[in-house]
Amino acid sequence: MRSAPTILHLDMDAFFASVEQASKPSLRGKAVVVGGLGPRGVVATASYEARIFGVHSAMPMAQARRRAPNAAYLVPRFALYRSISEQVMRLLKALSPLVEPLSLDEAFVDLEAGGAAWDERSARLAGAKLRADIRAVTGLTGSVGLAASKMLAKIASEQAKPDGLVLIEPGTERALLGPLPVRTLPGVGPATGDHLRRAGIHTVDELAEAGEDELVRLLGRAHGHALFAMALARDERPVVAERETKSVSVEDTYDVDIHDRLRVGTEVRRLADRCVSRLRAAGLSGRTIVLKVRRYDFSTLTRSETLRGPTDDPAVVREAAARLLDSVDTTGGVRLLGVGVSGLADYTQEDLFAQAGGQVDDLPHEETEAAPAPEPETPAERRWPAGHDVRHAVHGPGWVQGSGLGRVTVRFETPDSEPGRVKTFRVDDPALQPAEPLPLVSRRPGETEGAGADGGVRAEGG
């Protein structure tokens, strides 16, 4: 382990909910819950104001509504979250070439590898500057942990929440870890935690006192050795800059089981197109098409087909997914569908129409299907998800507070305005249209996009 706290862990604070609060002045300081709003929806993120009521991520949305009935419940805007995450990740990469993203809102950084820090003082300065730059570029807050290992840096960032910085000085690790519950350590989930508790082991100190042989007996060789080392604050894992993407996939869970076979087929084609969009955005292609079907009884079936070469063509992926669907019995109803592509490559093979079971002269038909949606698709485009952006021809930009019974309620405000007024319209009002999100932070005249408050750290785009 290192002699200086030069591994940094960043965790953005209640990321999705914080983005929504930053973009909607009327929700600042209020309880906000982001997630699926249907009967089977789950919480993706809850603001700190909502957590006071016991709402947390992965909780069923129905339970969240019972605990916090007056919270704002919003549908996620993942494209916006990804764009802000890219801004944050660029700030991290300005510190070091070794950045290990764990999710959209969380990453490790090896400050020593980038020359950004070499001792306690320089590490603390780098962490403080990063937090200031994140606020300047995105308007959001992040918590930073600094330590001599990845495990301790993550523990430190958790202690720093929200909107703080904690540095664990080398030599103090054992004293810090000792009284903490065993669930603090990576790899100790609910099942392992229960197993250890039944053995009388509740804290990290008790884990270390149990000894390596006892932990191997309780948990198996690999897990026992690893947990004993972590209980002694030993963690030699390096920060890994690149994690190979193994697959790209999308899936939807439906509020009501789908029984109509034609509807199931339509959903699979729609998911295939979304999957290809993600594939192309990542500059990738793939050879293996995967279909996932969860049926009415919760049984989950997976089917796959491997093509002759990699593709990122929506026609090819749609055909393969449709063929895979032919082999699945959906008569009892479907509650979840997913389409994925694996066997990824960074190139495509141009003549793959035939390999998906069709012929090259099917292309005009496929291009017709990919054309602008025909009239029957219009109602789907006029749905108004809660929290999503709109623009009215007269009243300007706003966001959807809710919709139903042929009406949609909109609050007209922007990230840099005062809390706005509320108006209600017909769902088919031609003056009201979906809109792209506005930037959370307005740039000053002449300021380059992504420049920090001092102009020194840049995160272009997003």
What pLDDT is recorded for position 352?
41
CA distances from residue 194 to 178, 203, 247 in whole angstroms, order as listed? 19, 12, 33
Token pair listed for 202? 């509740």
β-strand pairing of 32-35 with 43-46 = antiparallel
Task: Choose, from 106, 267, 305, 319, the residue flagged as catalytic.
Answer: 106
- Going by C-alpha positions, the residue among 72, 75, 77 that lies closest to residue 435 is 77
This prediction's pTM: 0.74
For residue 136, the model assigns a pLDDT of 96
* Tens digit of each residue's pLDDT (9 = 90 or more) over 18-59: 999 999 999 999 999 999 888 778 899 999 999 999 999 889
Lowest model confidence (mean pLDDT) among 76-90, 296-310, 312-326: 296-310
Tokens describing residue 430? 């031609």
In this prediction, residue 347 carries a pLDDT of 57
More confident residue, 72 or 455: 72
Q: Provide mean pLDDT across the span 402-423.
A: 94
Confidence band for 365, pLDDT divided at 50, 70 and 90: very low
**pLDDT at residue number 443:** 64
The band of 128, judged by pLDDT with boundaries at 50, 70 and 90, is very high
Sheet holding 407-412, edge to edge: 421-426, 407-412, 396-404, 389-392, 432-434
Residue 461 has pLDDT above 80, yes or no: no
Residue 103: per-residue pLDDT: 87
Q: Which of 85, 86, 117, 110 is nearest to 96 (CA)?
A: 110
Query: What does 272-295 look like in DSSP terms, one character per residue?
Result: HHHHHHHHHHTT-EEEEEEEEEEE
Q: Is the pLDDT assigned to residue 172 strictly greater than 60? A: yes
The per-residue pLDDT for 243 is 65
Instruction: Show the tokens assigned to 413.
Output: 């405000």
Over residues 218-237, the mean pLDDT reads 89
Active site residue 367: no
Mean of pLDDT over the chain: 86
Residue 20 confidence (pLDDT): 97
pLDDT tens readout for residues 116-125 = 999 999 999 9
- pLDDT over 90 at 264, yes or no: yes
Please compute, for residue 453, the number of CA atoms within 13 A of its CA located in the half-sphere on the CB side.
Answer: 10
Residue 393's pLDDT is what? 96
- Rounded (5°) CA angle 36-281-269: 60
379 pLDDT above the threshold of 70 = no
